[in-house]
Structure 1
């Protein structure tokens, strides 16, 4: 079996070979795309996944879809999504903070991901319903991210990729910008594995709370990590310490508002709340702080984590009424419910008079129109700061509902600078001879800030393919 390529004596853990053409660190979408491509090129390939087998795949197992450019609909995608529209969407959410060459290249290459993943056994399904409305732009995985991962791993095993779980890489030997070897811990032993090329696909540092605290200070203690607990940034740190050129703002990340009752780690996509556009959001002081109807939810949902992070105690509350309770995909946690706003405020430990005043001022500012959550409708507020630009309806129909939310960090944007070949760039601007990066560890090249639903998987798939191909073509040692 690929997960036990070198049987050890009884009582000993399996051990890797002394040398591989391509060493892949990580176990998610980007890593497996790279490993499979390199193996198809005839290279010997090993994958070191730090997580146990059950938790393999990093944040990929929490995903549902990937964003892909395409010129015509197919059996799943409901209409065309041309490269220029994809670029305009990305430009809007990043505010221009992106490497345009790499971003446009990513978008162009995304057209090939459907066939590439299909050939690896991944299957797709029509878009899920709800507020994200991604049926035209995003391909949804049949069975979700875990099913997609299982297909990639089955393909890897069939190809002869060697895979080790519970196998953190604890050291890298790099000289003059070239990869020489990795030291991996398996069980109680450490092995030095030489490699002809390296693909770093081990994610960001979002589950390293100490590292987050370096940039965020005490507010980081109130963050929830909705992604994997295994992305601690150890490989990223090793690469940066070895002279790799960094990219990205360390305070920027894919951060969404998730249910405050979620676990500290690994809550996943089901903890996200998509009801912001149907109500209002208030902070601990029962005050609104941002336009809940600024734009379509797929283009704005990923700003709300940072918005909540900027509020007192990093806590906020989404308020809706009976009119909206069935309009969105609910959280795994039921909403708090009361027949009066004062009763709801008591459950939330908010000042009842302040909450009633905030809702009353909002209701008075609403200018009714033709409510339609699928378009930028004309339901808005007037004379209110902050405004609600679309989908504004009075909160006046009991019972009233609330969801408490905190910042939910999916992945961080500080990473390694790369070029179009996925080749890691060293300090001074020189490309590495044989080191490549894919996925979240280099996503900051494309995502300077903000997020577009499904683009994390796009970046991982595009640069995973490239990294595998280029690593196979640039084996040294």
Structure 2
């Protein structure tokens, strides 16, 4: 079997690539490893796209200029990012929505509980599942061939040039290929290998939950890195990693299992001790560091503790918190050492310097003489009833990936492939060395998916890849 452009993957980046290549006139075949009912990978669990804009735009309020977006990204990554590629993603985010709408994606204003990102993020009507379904409908209407239950076992690459892919013993050749098959977060063995054993004799990865798809096993990523010597980027232990409800399922818990009250209270480990500043920055800029923080604690577990003053100020998770009328009773219900827990809470309450509390700003409510400090939104936890949520690390996607440039070409020995391209989570580490800010994963996937699809079509037609963001918005 042969085609012009082969797209391996079934989420946002893959679909953007397939649509762009088809619009350019190529015959396109998309291979999704999951069954149809589970198509879309992690994209099905998303809600929004972080968008640069210089003035109000339909569902986006005020302005979110390029420099502010870049500074937000620079802060959360700690400088572990390619400024050139990051700025390309940022600029592309300002112009992609008309194209998305043409393919059936609809947007809506931010919902109650998410108003703090109404300026920076455009929300999908119906969430990520609706976006994925819209793209599949559009792709099929345009003549993109889609095959489900089609995991690619390996690909043939000669001299950095793609030749064919193997699926269930069948060889599929193509003039060009886009890799958009996700990270390796659902490969427990690889996670164990990456994280290793800690000083307490624990294997932290054994306690990780996977927020998204069970199908992102990193088979092609490992194949490209180990067997074909593709250039790599990123740390295998870095990931979009969130503190989620410890009662969440092993796979596909999605956003509803996230615990969003962390900044409104304190977080303790199983010893009853705090270990990080809960008020360091706004939650959309910090929620994705808490999974890693919890992963470093004994037993890879933490506990978010709030009182009744916090109720109504955060998006409630799917499971109710453990409730008690006193702090000692809450500690007992959570299985925490009561004496240490009360020492921690009493020290925190005594250190609070409450000013003008405002969870929508970096307010002046802070602690004094406490380590670790709580630098914003610090109020005593003193008003019954009290609530506690057990937290475990929830991995969304991993950052180890394939090194690329602004053509989205896979690189071998620092030389770009003529006809093999990469998009989405398989290359997100070029922009995200660590950390995360809400909606940027979809920005990366959309920008590089479209670039990869366009350049795959050019390669299939025997033309050189083009540099820079796609500009044919229409």
Q: Which bracket does the TM-score occupy, shorter chain normalised?
A: over 0.9
Matched, 1:69 2:63: no
Correspondence for 1:148: 131
Query: How far apart in 1 are the matches of 2:223 and 2:138?
Result: 30
Q: Offset of 1:325 from its aligned partner?
A: 1.8
Corresponding residue of 1:41 = 24
Residue of structure 2 equivalent to 1:332: 318
Give the CA deviation at 1:238: 1.6
Aligned partners of 1:476, 1:40: CA distance in 2, in Å? 13
- Structure 1 residue aligned with 2:327: 341
Alpha-carbon distance in 1 for matches of 2:304, 2:7: 42
Q: What TM-score, normalized to structure 2?
A: 0.95
CA distance in 2 between partners of 1:87 and 1:147 (Å) = 29
Note the C-alpha offset of 1:131: 5.7
Which residue number in structure 2 is paired with residue 234 of structure 1?
219
Determine if contact 1:68/1:113 at 8 Å carries over to the other structure: no
1:129 Cα shift?
2.4
1:67-216 counterparts in 2 under 5 A? Answer: 67-130=50-113, 133-185=116-168, 190-216=169-195
CA-CA distance at 1:476 after TM superposition: 7.1
Matching residue of 2:444? 459
- Is 1:378 equivalent to 2:364 in the alignment? yes
* Aligned 8 A contact 1:177 1:243 in 2: no
Q: Distance in 1 between matches of 2:340 and 2:352?
A: 19
Any idea what SS the aligned residue of 1:300 has? helix
CA distances 1:205-247 after superposition (whole Å, capped 9, x unpaired): 0000000000112110000011111000011112112121001
Which residue does 1:8 correspond to in 2? none
Q: Are positions 1:60 and 2:46 aligned together?
A: no
- In structure 2, distance between residues paired with 1:131 and 1:48: 34
CA distance in 2, matches of 1:152, 1:73: 26
- 1:442 is displaced (CA, Å) by 0.3
CA RMSD of aligned residues (A): 1.0
- Aligned residue for 1:106, secondary structure, equals helix
Match of 2:303 among 291, 309, 317: 317
**Cα deviation 1:430-462 (Å, max 9, x = unaligned):** 100100000000000000000010000000000
Q: Secondary structure at the match of 1:170?
A: strand
Q: Who is 1:9 aligned against?
A: none
Match of residue 15 from structure 1: none
* Partner residue in 2 for 1:11: none
Question: Conserved in 2, the CA contact under 8 Å of 1:434 and 1:476?
Answer: no
| 1:160-217 Cα deviation digits (max 9, x unpaired) | 00000011111211100000001112xxxx3111000010000000000000000112
* Partner SS, residue 427 of structure 2: helix
Aligned partner of residue 66 in structure 1, secondary structure: strand
Q: Structure 2 matches for 1:340-359, cutoff 5 A?
A: 340-359=326-345
Q: Does structure 2 retain, via aligned residues, the 8 Å contact 1:223–1:409?
A: yes
Helix, strand or coil at the partner of 1:112: coil
Aligned to 1:7: none
Q: Does 1:296 align with 2:282?
A: yes
**3-state DSSP of counterpart to 2:316:** coil
Gaps of 5+ in 1: 1-17
- Report Cα offsets for 1:264-315 as digits up to 9, x if no partner: 1111111111101110000010000000000111111110000000000000
Residue number in structure 1 paired with 2:424: 439
SS at match of 2:176: strand
2:15 maps to which of 28, 32, 42: 32
- What is the Cα deviation at residue 132 of structure 1? 6.8
CA offsets per residue over residues 62-109 of structure 1, 9 Å max, x none?
Answer: 000010111111220011111111000000000000011111111111
Pairing partner for 2:261 from 275, 295, 298:
275
Secondary structure (helix, strand or coil) at the match of 1:377 reads: coil
Please list the CA deviations of residues 409-437 of structure 1 after superposition, one character each: whole Å capped at 9, or x if unmatched. 000000001110111111x2110010000
Deviation at 1:41, TM superposition (A): 0.7
